[in-house]
Structure 1
Amino acid sequence: MPRILRLDRMEILGFKSFYGRTRFDFPDGITAVVGPNGCGKSNIGDAISWVLGEQKASSLRSDRMEDVIFNGSEGRRPLGMAEVSLHFKNLLADGNGHANGNGHGAGNGHGAAPEVTVAADREVPIPEAAESARPAAGGALESQAAALRITGIEEIPEEVVVTRRIYRSGESEYVLNGQRCRLKDIQDLLARTDIGSRLYSTIEQGKIDQVLAARPKDRRAMFEEAAGILGYRSKRRQAELKLEAAQANLLRINDIVIEVEKQINALRRQAAKARRYQKLVDDLRERRLVLARQRLAASDEERQRTGEAIEALRAEEVAAAAALVADEADLERLRLQLEAGEAAARGRREEIHAFDLEIDRIQERLRAGREQVRDLESRLAEGERELTALRSRFAEQETRLAEAIREIADVEERLRSAASSAVAVSADDGERAAAIELLDADLDKTRAGLLERIERHAAMMSHSASLEEQARAARASLLKIEREMEELRASRGRLGAEVEGLEREAAAGRGRAEETAARHEAVTAAEREAAGRMTAVERRAEELKGRAAVLAERRAALAEMERQRAGFSEGVGDLLKGTAGIEPRGVVGDRLDVPPGLEKAVEATLQDLLEAVVVGGAEEAARGVAYLRASGRGRVSFVADEGAPARDESPGTSSCDPPADVPAVHCRLSERIGGAPLGPISRILARTLLVDSLEQAHGLHDAHPAFACVTPQGDIVHFDGSVTGGDGRALSHWLLQRRVEREEIDRRMSEVAAAREEAEGTLLRLREERVTAQERLTSAATEVQVESRVAFERALRLQQGREELDRIDRALPLLVGEQARLQRDIASCVAGMAGRAMDLEVLEAERRTSEESIAARSAELARLRADLELARRASAETRAALAAAEQRHTSLLRERDGLDEAIRDLASSMARRTRERDEWTARIAQIGEQDGGLEQQRQAALNARAEAAARDEAAHAGLAYERSLLHAREQAVKQGRVAQVALRERHQQHELHRARIDADLEHMGRTCRDELATSIEALRASPPPPDDGSGLQERESEVQRIRADIDAIGPVNLMAVEQQKDLEERFSFLTAQKNDLEQAIASLRETIRTINREARERFRSAFEAIQEHFQESFRTLFGGGRAELRLSEEDEDVLEAGIEVAAQPPGKRLQKIGLLSGGEKALTAVALLVSLFRYRPSPFCILDEVDAPLDEANVERFTRLLQELRSDTQLILITHNRKSMEAADLLYGVTMEEPGVSKILPLRFE
């Protein structure tokens, strides 16, 4: 493809770190982008990829597509939109000769157009030869026009501007030359100009690593794109999808054709049956008309006889009813008379009961009066006793009151005498008190001196005691310290031995802990294994549960199909729903139990009778036929189920028994069929022999023509000798198939249930094992914990013992120092106690002198105080006597007042008790008078009750006689009613018989109207049938025979001819469709072969050319050596083979690329990518720090290679390497003068 468009410039606004609008011009050749790390160089390549349609945010080094919008910096706010525009120039718009070469020649770059190589891999259809058109060299404009016509880009304008914008809201838009468009529109335009998302159009360090690390299959994608066969894969996939769809359609049409063909065959048989059916129907109608006329005459005669019998019974009923009415009137009169007598008896009994109640009431009043008298007499006696006691207390209180008055007078006289004595004693007490006061002051001074000496003596004694106590305490502390030192030394020896024992026990415990931990790990592994087995069994149980659910759903679907009667004809379906006024009992096929392998034999034998409807009798069958005829639902066979056994002849006399010369293996078909086949079905099966082959069937039928013979494959020789057979697939009645499938599902459900039960048992056992393992695990864990706890406690005790030893070692020197200090304190205290003893002797002498002086003064003071005390005691006694007299006087006054109040209370109580005694005496007399009157009333009531009882006994005998008369009359009425019921029942039976005759006549009328197209009146008016000696039974048998022939025909489709015509037309149409699909499938297969052939040729051609370019580029980059591309040997198909890369740098052996060093890998990958460019140049290419892993010598070779590529491709090189910068025609320096904002500085080399 010639270069059509050239990248002219790019404008960026708000994309990543480019805040303001930034313009990049891209001339032909090499454009280098340089700058420090983090300045935004790689954002330029991201911008080009983004505007060309990149949809993966990760490919743009972002988490979300909105992250490409400038997000702000320290000095600039975030932007709400990012925009990138690419400007392309159309190189062929004016033929100005700016194109710079081609893949297989060279252009001079000054006006002459280059050679054009066309490889339009996107043209359809693939087989067209114009895709590989290569015009002759010459560079004429006609070749360019031809290329433009082939690629379809004649309408591309002189300048193409592609713009992409994205907003913070997530909205995005694409603009092509100022007009909004779809991404697909841009991609289609760029694809036509050979600018697209090439796998190798953007090369970065990660892409090189990806090429090196890719699998051979994944590496193939770049070769397919360069070869231009990606479109082939898409077209082949489309063709394969069309082929699969055509094959599926063909399979469905084949199924439909087979089904339609079977339906046509069935309709042919139905048309033949329809003609025979019509003849039998006409004959049946004539026979039924004669039978109906004969039945009508018999029914009319029977109805007349029944009417006469009804009239006679009606007269007997009238006479019996009159007699019964008279007896019932007499019975009612006797019943009323008896009721009146019983009412009078009830009145007498009520009167007697009233007398009884009155007597009881009087006796209760007498008893209550007696109880009240006894209570009043008891209270009266108690009141007399209380009154006597009150009188006694009254006299006693009066005596006490007189004594209190006399004592008050004596106390008042003593008070006056004591008051005069108290005044004289008070004067002597004043003089004695003054003398005592002077002597007491002198004594206080002497006592103060004595107290001072005593205090000094006490202080010295206290100090001596303190010294003695200190010495004693020091001696005790000394003894304690000595004992403590002895204890510490003993404890140290004991603790040393204990620490050594603990250390030995700790060593042994560590061994036990390791053993316990090992057991715990073993038990844990066993429990984990049990859990894994249980999980597997649970998955198996879940799988069985899912299979059971699927089977249950299918079983339910079959049950629903049976409930909905799916598959039956329209007439059978209506009849089974009960809409015809009959009670269907299913179909014949439901009554048969067909063993596996005999389904086709049973279907060939019974044919349409499998769908025959089972009814209760001939009447229901007739109603069903009438319904079908009226509704136009077609024809249906009926079989009566009257509960009687099949009417087969006796085995000893039946002509249907297999003859004796028939081998035993050829049994009746009825012997192999289970269930409950009805009479006609049983007879058909009994007259059909089961044979192995059609040849045996012919032989048996020739010898025994009364039997039909059928094979398990469904080939049958009928009773009349005709043969039916052929493809057994046509015999697959859905009713038998559904039953077989249901039985198979039941069997599989039983198997699944057994398997589930077994799995659940295994799961239960595994759970028990896991519980046991968990218990062992718990036990082991407990042992580990116990060992850990014991070890911890042992370590704690060991640490405590060692700490205690350290404490003892620190405490012993301290106790030795304390012992020396206490000994010094004891010596000091002994010396202080000796000095204080002399001072105490002097103070003791002074204390004795002061005590003698105090004793003399104290004796004189005591004498004076004794005299004063005697005087004061006498005065106190006088005052006490006076106070006591005053207190006694007050007490006597209060006692006098209390006695006055008590006397008044006693007088009041005596008066109240006297009144109560009088009242109780009067009440006793009143109750005695009332009891006398009540006794008289009781005696009168007893006499009246005796008279009423006598009257009641006399009337009781008369009532018994009346009851006997009533019972006799009731028996007579009952017998009359029984007789009347018997007459009525006989009457009803005759009425029912007449109604049955009327119903039969009505049914006969409906039958004549619905089935025979006449009326019962017309039958009565018609002449009687000729008397040929045939009775009703013979005519009925003849009608049944004709009906049996009609039933033997089976259901008849009256629309068979029209349906056959429609199906034949449909069969022709489907056959034509089938042929078209077969031709289309053959054409698609040929197309796929053509696609594969063209793709293989293109891939081989491209692979060989890329191989040559790769070897040349490798030698250029390495300065020698050898490299090659290989197809994977495990894939024979070229279109599926992977691509392996082998390289041999100078001085090394040929090896796979994965064994090379880092720099060698990078150069090899660059050589491979360059070879792809050389075979299929891309209009421009971005190289993002590809030269980073290369050393200086390799960079020089790399730049020489770039100079070779610049003639076919615009190169945009992002680099840090100075050598690479020198190869550029235009240099863009990217800086970040402001943090977070990228700026460019262009520099063109002249």
Structure 2
Amino acid sequence: MHLHSLELIGFKSFADKTLFEFHEGVTAIVGPNGCGKSNVLDAVRWVLGEQSAKALRGGEMADVIFNGTDARKPVGFGEVSLTFTNCGSELGVDWHDVRVTRRVYRDGNSEYLLNKTLCRLRDIQALFADTGVGRSAYSIMEQGKIDLILSSRPEDRRTVFEEAAGITKYKTQKKEALRKLEATEANLLRIGDIIKEVKRQIGSLQRQAGKARRYQTLHADLQVLDTHHSRNQLDKLEAELEQARTAIARLEEAESEAHRKIEAGENELAAKRRSLDEVDGEIGDARAEVQRLQNEIAGLRNQIEFNRQRAQETGELIERYTDDIAAAEAKRSEQATQLQEADALIARTNQLLVSKEQEVERLSEALQAARNERAEKEEELRALQLSLSKLESRITSLESDLTGVRARRDATSARITELTKSIGEGNAALQGARADLTAARAAMETERQTAEQRKENLRAAEERLHENQARVANAEKEIARLERTIAEKQARLEVLRQMTEEGHGLEKGSQAVLKGLDDPERLRPAIAGALVASLNVEPEFVPALEAALGRNLHAVVLRDADRAAEIFQQLTTQKLGHAALAIAELSGARAETQPTELPIGAVAWAIDKVDVPAELQTLVGNLLRGVAIVSDLGAALQLKRTVPALHFATLGGEFISAAGIIFGGTAAAASDSMLGRKAIITGLEAECEGLDTERNAAVAARDQAKRELETAMSTVEEARRSHESAHEKSSRSGVEILSAERAVGDEERKLAHLENERNTLDQQVGQADDRIAELECELQAGKKDLESEQGLQVAAEQARESARLREEEAAEKLNELRLAVATERQRHESLVHHREPMAAREAELADLIAARRADIATYQDRLARQARESTEAEASISGHESELELAEQNAAGLAEQRTTRLKAVTEKESELRGLRDSLNDLRDSRGKDEVRQTQLQLRIENLIEHVTRRYQVDLREFAADTFAFQKTLSAMTKKREAAIPETWSVERPNHQNLEQIIAELTRQLDNMGPVNLDAVHEYDELEERYRFLETQ
């Protein structure tokens, strides 16, 4: 079988169709890095069944499809085909060529093809079993695979040897057969368990199926009865619903008619009420007119009666006044005489009184002039006092303003003093805050420098830490490298030792002897081991000594010579191959015939280049006697001619015996060379010891680096803490600087505010000084005006006092004259007083006579006027009585009209009340019918929903099956052992009995509890499965 070609389409970096043809002798693919060698290997492994995307250096299987570049689009699938030729004998198929294809799509689907025919991966694996062709077989070797095999465990290498030996296929078949047997046994056990379980389930399902069948039977009967009964109920309810709808429609029509009548009646009633209101208005007007006329007639009659009474009283008064006139005229005559005498005396006193009164008038005028003068002086004085009061008020106001301004100026000056003091304190505080700020900034700079220094220390410590970490990491890497190298060396050493112990490279017979033949426990104590295992040779002399020893290298050293015959007997009997046994005691003494001098041109005697145990020195010495080592075959031939009795072995592995026979060439790899393997073992042991020493030194260096790392970490931690502390102090200093800057700003703002306030107050003090000067000037002017006014007031008071004195003198004279006038007037008045009663009496009598005569005339006029008024009133009464009669007749007629119209309104209201009551009755009836309609609709909906939910039947579409209904009802009636009543009929069944039957069936179904309706089908399936399992 020969690998003919590899075809790739859209696989990884092979976007286009790529064909690799492998001609005879091609065993490897080489090329520069990145040219796709690994992708070719991945393609071979993938087409042979690799299932791990990670093993193909991907995340998922779709990653093997070409994913596109900047210049090319991705493809939709990836395909790899592998073609083999001359496959008939190797694969046992009829084809000469075998083409294996694997294709995968981006949606995750994939397929395998064998000669373009779809197949399974298992078919491909079975086809190539034991051929060395597979996803992980030894026929495909990637980089490092050979070294991995050499350094792997023996158990792992055994797999390679088994595959090369061709037994992997049979082991796989054996595993598959054993797996199938185990699966069969497990299935048999499982079948037994399943049969038991199924048998147990059959019992439970049988009960459930029986219950389900009973339930189905009862449910079917109930469905037939209930659906027919529900259909009958539906028809009745729908008929009742239609009747209710008809009644509601009829009542709605009646309501509409009643509404129309009520509306017309209300319109008519409104018109009648308006007419009644009009009549009420006319009646009110008529009654008001009647009342007016009655009031006027009553008033006129009262006036007539009053005039009559007053006429009677007036007549009596006229008679009495006539008598009074006669008596008064007699008294008047007597009184006139006395009055003439008094008049003469009064005339004389009157002349004297007139002269005195003239004097009094003159003095009164003088007094009045004095009073006017005094008043003028007082007025002037009051004016001066008023002006003086205003000046005093003005001066007081100016003094008050001056005092206030001075007080405010003093307060402002005090505030300025305080501000000056505060400004001084503020300047001091500002200087202190600035000093604090400067100190804080200096401290900040110090802390910053300290932080920078500590940061630099931290950086240096971290650099040392990183250097130590790098040293530790390098030491760890070196230790790992050394341990990996030691592990590789030891693994290889172990393999070589095991090969040496097992006798690899020896004859099969010798290997069998080393293994102890059929009785290892008995034979192994007599076997010292392979002869070659006891020899130590320098690597450069291995070919020469192997050539010198020849087949003797296959010898096995025996401790007991008596075992030799037995061993050869078993080798011959069992046909285990040839063997060579070396027995030290049979070697005898070492011969001394070897020349003592090494021939010129030879490298060394062969025996001198072998390190042999003491017990085997004689044996090995006899084997290597007379063997000289030369550099090459030409030197050996030349020396052979010179010293023909010696044996010569070359460093290249050629050997010339004493008889002149030349041996040469090679047939085994270096690893199969027994002495070479021994030399390799020795070299590996030395290398392992050296590597152990290096590893120990590396471990010590690592430990030292770790200690230094810990010290560096402590130093870094300390430096970090120190740096953090310095940074924290620097941060605090920064906060202090901010606080100091804030304090400086506050102080500067406060100082500026104080300066502004002081400047403002200074301006206010200047303004106050100007105001004080202005007020002082005004005050001085006011005081001057006050002094002038005060002088005028004194002069005015003096003038007033002079005028007062003159007034008092005139008043005194006037009072004296008035006293005289009063005395004279008193006398005159006394006379007049005595005359006045007489004149008054005479005047009174005259007045009385005139008054009585006037009264009599007035009373006579009044009597005449009252008589006329009474006559006019009587005439008015007659006219008003006629009008009153007409008004009363009109009011009575209107009252009759109101009564008639009120009766009509009352009757219309009664009629409307009746209509409204009828409408309410209609509404109540319609409401009841609508409630009845809603109830019927709910009953219908509930009935339909009940049948639909319980039987999945549309009751409206249900067609009654009279035969099934009668049959079911008869059967149920027989079960109840009750005869069907004579009145029973299909068309009109006994409703009560039917409902009882339905209720009983429903109760029976409810009492059955939960029912598994699938139990019947499950029971049949389980029964069939049980029979099937029983027949297995």
Q: Which has the larger radius of gyration?
A: 2
Considering fraction of residues, name the structure with more helix. Answer: 2
TM-score when scaled to structure 1? 0.26
